[in-house]
Structure 1
């Protein structure tokens, strides 16, 4: 999962990102609220972690913008050095889903993040099988079937197809796809991604007559849509 972390304290973002990366997530640290907002306008994240006291734009201001402009189900965890009940209630009332009081404890951070992600993305647990209509994905084996028939895909094609289905209806930027599927090889040619997308569309027959459309989003990336009659 891609997680954005806002805190003006470098040591704090380093700690949080270290914990998140060890739990298998991708972490993007930000030291200012304005910097984070600029990135949120361009990129998709699966969870936000926001420090309540940031010099340029406060945590509540960033959260208010996110709640107005982004997916309302986007989970937000706020961090605060204040432990009074009033401050915590104010943070939750502003739209945060959970909170942590500094100093951050590694085990607690991992547990709270995992709980928020499970709640927000129930279909993305590490189940033996993940099903979307006629398509059944088996993440541990890389096996993919449609209507009970096996589809011959490479591991990258499997990862790419699962990424699209997990984000059904949501436009994914090229940067997001690149990081999610080719995380350790960010220098791949642009054409490589387009070729893989084309293969996924063809092998899974993601066409309107089959109920799905995998289409480019101009100057941004791709989106898999479900076609309703």
Structure 2
């Protein structure tokens, strides 16, 4: 999904962008409200993340402009440090769909973004429920895994990990990114929890080239899960 984020703090802006990109979205960052509004005149975004306090235009003014000119779409998420009840009410009243209070937490931001996208684009969300790759089929709704058409039993955490891997195939994934996405927190450098779960998945799901995938450990970084051509692998 294409997401626009307007945030004047460079560190916060980069954090938001990185979280969204790690989750598989495209993210365009803007440092002020006017830049975002100019972009909205000729670009289409599936979701907007808006800070309240900006150097030129206040967040509620941006939300009001979008609603007057674009209707109910795209959905809008306030991401702000303003935590008073009257601020939350005002933000939702002016047309925002959700309201998230800083500090930004990776798991919470991902959850709110996914919830808004599911509600706004139900057909796309339904299509994303099924992930197919090689001999694998994962159903996010039913929480089932098929390998070569046969069901494989996995634990809830193993399913979350498998789903994250298959949704991010071809990307280099740091340990922290995987931990935040699956466990909602950084587990710690000394823990073997992630490695243990990866090892179990590798065995249970037969994550091998003959099934069209390869799971590789990347020293001091994390993992790479990629698609491979089984015929080419055998030829080599």
TM-score by length of 2: 0.54
2:121 maps to 1:140: no
Q: Which residue of 2 aligns with 1:219?
A: none
CA-atom RMSD in angstroms: 1.5
Q: CA deviation at 1:82?
A: 1.5
Q: CA deviation at 1:110?
A: 0.3
1:68-147 superposed matches below 5 A: 68-125=68-125, 126-128=128-130, 140=132
Q: CA deviation at 1:72?
A: 1.6
Identify which range, 70-79 or 35-44, moves more after superposition. Answer: 70-79
Q: Which residue of 1 aligns with 2:41?
A: 41
What's the CA shift string for 1:95-126, capped at 9, x where partnerless? Answer: 10001111111100000000000000000121
Q: Which residue of 2 aligns with 1:187?
A: none
Q: CA deviation at 1:127?
A: 3.2
Q: How far apart are the structure 1 equivalents of 2:71 and 2:87?
A: 25
Number of equivalent positions = 132
Aligned CA distance change for structure 1 residues 56 and 120 (closer, same or farther; 3 Å): same
Which one has the largest radius of gyration? 2
Give unpaired runs (5+ residues) of structure 2. 135-236
Q: How far apart are the structure 1 equivalents of 2:92 and 2:84?
A: 13
Q: CA deviation at 1:79?
A: 1.4
What's the CA shift string for 1:165-202, capped at 9, x where partnerless? Answer: xxxxxxxxxxxxxxxxxxxxxxxxxxxxxxxxxxxxxx
Q: How far apart are the structure 2 equivalents of 1:73 and 1:45?
A: 9
Q: CA deviation at 1:44?
A: 0.2
TM-score by length of 1: 0.56
Q: CA deviation at 1:141?
A: 6.3
Q: Which residue of 2 aligns with 1:15?
A: 15
Q: How far apart are the structure 2 equivalents of 1:127 and 1:100?
A: 25
Q: Which residue of 2 aligns with 1:26?
A: 26
Q: Which residue of 2 aligns with 1:50?
A: 50
